[in-house]
Amino acid sequence: MSATVPLDPARPVTTTALRAMKDARRPIVMVTAYDTPSARLCDEAGVDAILVGDSLGMVVLGHGSTLPVTMDDMLRHTAAVVRGTKRALAIADLPFMSFQVSAEDTLRNAGRFLVESGAAAVKLEGGMRVASTVRRLVDAGIPVMGHIGRTPQSVNQFGGYKVQAKESAAALELLDDAHALEDAGAFAVVLECIPAELAAMVSAELQIPTIGIGAGAGCDGQVQVYHDVLGMGEFTPKHAKRYAEVGAVIRSAMEAYANEVRDGAFPADEHGSRMEPTAVAEVERLRERGIHAVDAGEEA
Ligand code: KIV
């Protein structure tokens, strides 16, 4: 079977299927999506997993970071993605402060994504410090994807969006984080913006799949942000590749639409409907006599 073909194209992807893909050395394809039509297109294209990332805040809602994203934002967009998804595994990001306050709060918040939005799993940022949280969620039947390296919710601690774990001490710490997540029961872990050599080491040491973004080709899969893949963002991050210029296509379609409205070329006859000429004549006759809807019945 070709590496470009999913394990079983007819079957919905499960967390255990991702593990089987790692074992079969079949690269896992994950992408973010935030609404029904884009999820449908990703699903039809055969991606294995769709992440409703809290990147929602930056690429869709216009915030400067992921920190303002709320539970309500994530629940609504996750439900929209699930409605557009038939085969791909739908994973919801736990937003900032939804899993830090208390164990009870975390469990309730994570559970809402499965119960109210229909997601199959949640993702949360952090390594050793969230291992007990991951264990608690997994024990409650909530599959968890970990996320380590350049975790955007920690942007204020990192002092910007920088590649992480370039030095040996930090690299060792990241390896410990990865093992802690696996030991806690995570079904996969995202490795974001870490050196390729380190990501390859993590991928070799873990039994669970690693999904890289800016972490080189040695991961078990890759994740990209929808708008980056399509060339719809204001800029393209170093770790992304534009596979299309959809932004340019949208802009030129909008210009063409605006021009046609302004010069009267749109709408044409075929874009609307018409009344029977007798009905038009009747309306004109009644209006001439000052008759309104309320008294039209009497007149007839
Ligand atoms: O929020 C997001 O989109 C993410 C991915 C980039 C991994 O966390």
Does residue 178 belong to any structural domain of this protein?
Answer: yes
**CA 47 remoteness from chain centre:** 12
Burial of 138 (0-12, 13-18, 19+ CB in 10 A): middle
Average pLDDT of span 107-112: 98
pTM of the model: 0.93
Tokens of residue 264, six digits: 């009267």
The residue to which tokens 């079904």 are assigned: 187
Does residue 250 belong to any structural domain of this protein?
Answer: no
Give the residue ranges of DSSP H helices in 34-166.
36-44, 56-59, 71-83, 103-115, 131-139, 155-158
Whether residue 37 is predicted with pLDDT greater than 90 in this model: the reply is yes
Whether residue 50 is predicted with pLDDT greater than 90 in this model: the reply is yes
Does residue 94 belong to any structural domain of this protein?
Answer: yes
Average pLDDT of span 4-8: 56
CA–centroid distance, residue 242 to ligand 1 (Å) = 17
pLDDT on residue 233: 84
Print the domain residue range for 99: 15-229
pLDDT on residue 298: 64
State whether 142 and 204 are in the same domain: yes
pLDDT on residue 234: 81
Check if the beta carbon of residue 69 is closer than 8 Å to that of residue 61.
Answer: yes
Q: Whose CA is nearest to atom 5 of ligand 1?
A: 53
Whether residue 3 is predicted with pLDDT greater than 70 in this model: the reply is no
- The better pLDDT of the pair 233, 251 is held by 251
CATH of the domain at 187: 3.20.20.60
* CA distance linking residue 138 with residue 182, whole number of Å: 11
State whether 32 and 91 are in the same domain: yes
Of the candidates 104, 192, 234, 284, the residue annotated as catalytic is: 192
Average pLDDT of span 11-36: 97
* High-pLDDT (> 90) share of the chain, %: 91
State whether 179 and 276 are in the same domain: no
Does residue 77 belong to any structural domain of this protein?
Answer: yes
Q: Whose CA is nearest to atom 8 of ligand 1?
A: 53
State whether 111 and 191 are in the same domain: yes
Q: How confident is the model at residue 2 (pLDDT cuts 50, 70, 90)?
A: very low
> What three-state secondary structure class fits 189?
strand
State whether 199 and 276 are in the same domain: no
pLDDT on residue 9: 74
Question: Last residue of a domain, which of 229, 258, 283?
Answer: 229
Query: Which mutation among 28, 30, 194, 223 tests ligand 1's pocket best, with the greatest number of atoms within 8 A of CB?
Result: 223
CA–centroid distance, residue 220 to ligand 1 (Å) = 16
Check if the beta carbon of residue 193 is closer than 8 Å to that of residue 211.
Answer: no
Tens digits of residue pLDDT in 119-157: 999 999 999 999 999 999 999 999 999 999 999 999 999
pLDDT on residue 235: 85
Query: Which mutation among 30, 34, 51, 67 tests ligand 1's pocket best, with the greatest number of atoms within 8 A of CB?
Result: 51
pLDDT on residue 292: 87
Check if the beta carbon of residue 194 is closer than 8 Å to that of residue 205.
Answer: no
State whether 155 and 273 are in the same domain: no
Does residue 197 belong to any structural domain of this protein?
Answer: yes
Q: How confident is the model at residue 296 (pLDDT cuts 50, 70, 90)?
A: low
State whether 215 and 284 are in the same domain: no
CA–centroid distance, residue 275 to ligand 1 (Å) = 52
Question: Last residue of a domain, which of 199, 229, 259?
Answer: 229
Q: Which atom of ligand 1 is nearest to the CA of 190?
A: 7
Does residue 7 belong to any structural domain of this protein?
Answer: no
* CA distance linking residue 48 with residue 119, whole number of Å: 14
State whether 41 and 176 are in the same domain: yes
CA–centroid distance, residue 60 to ligand 1 (Å) = 13
Tokens of residue 49, six digits: 């997993």
**Ligand 1 pocket by C-beta < 6 Å: which residues?**
32, 51, 53-55, 93, 147, 190, 192, 213, 223, 225
* High-pLDDT (> 70) share of the chain, %: 96
* CA distance linking residue 256 with residue 61, whole number of Å: 26
Q: Whose CA is nearest to atom 4 of ligand 1?
A: 53
* φ and ψ at residue 52, rounded to 5 degrees: -85, 85
State whether 196 and 293 are in the same domain: no
- The better pLDDT of the pair 60, 159 is held by 60
Q: Which atom of ligand 1 is nearest to the CA of 32?
A: 3
Question: Last residue of a domain, which of 229, 254, 283?
Answer: 229
State whether 149 and 288 are in the same domain: no
Does residue 76 belong to any structural domain of this protein?
Answer: yes
State whether 206 and 285 are in the same domain: no
Q: Which atom of ligand 1 is nearest to the CA of 55?
A: 1
State whether 271 and 135 are in the same domain: no
Distant-in-sequence, close-in-space partners of 172: CB < 8 Å, separation ≥ 6: none
Q: Which atom of ligand 1 is nearest to the CA of 54?
A: 1
CA–centroid distance, residue 20 to ligand 1 (Å) = 23
CA–centroid distance, residue 153 to ligand 1 (Å) = 10
CA–centroid distance, residue 52 to ligand 1 (Å) = 8
**What average pLDDT is seen over the chain?**
95
Q: Which atom of ligand 1 is nearest to the CA of 192?
A: 7
Check if the beta carbon of residue 14 is closer than 8 Å to that of residue 119.
Answer: no
* φ and ψ at residue 34, rounded to 5 degrees: -135, -5
Q: Active site includes 192? A: yes
Q: What Å distances lie between residue 159 and 27, 42, 162, 239, 240, CA to CA?
A: 32, 33, 8, 19, 22
Number of domains in the chain: 2
Does residue 99 belong to any structural domain of this protein?
Answer: yes
**Cis status of the peptide bond prior to 267, with omega within 30 of 0:** yes
Average pLDDT of span 66-92: 98
Distant-in-sequence, close-in-space partners of 130: CB < 8 Å, separation ≥ 6: 99, 124, 146, 181
Q: Whose CA is nearest to atom 1 of ligand 1?
A: 53
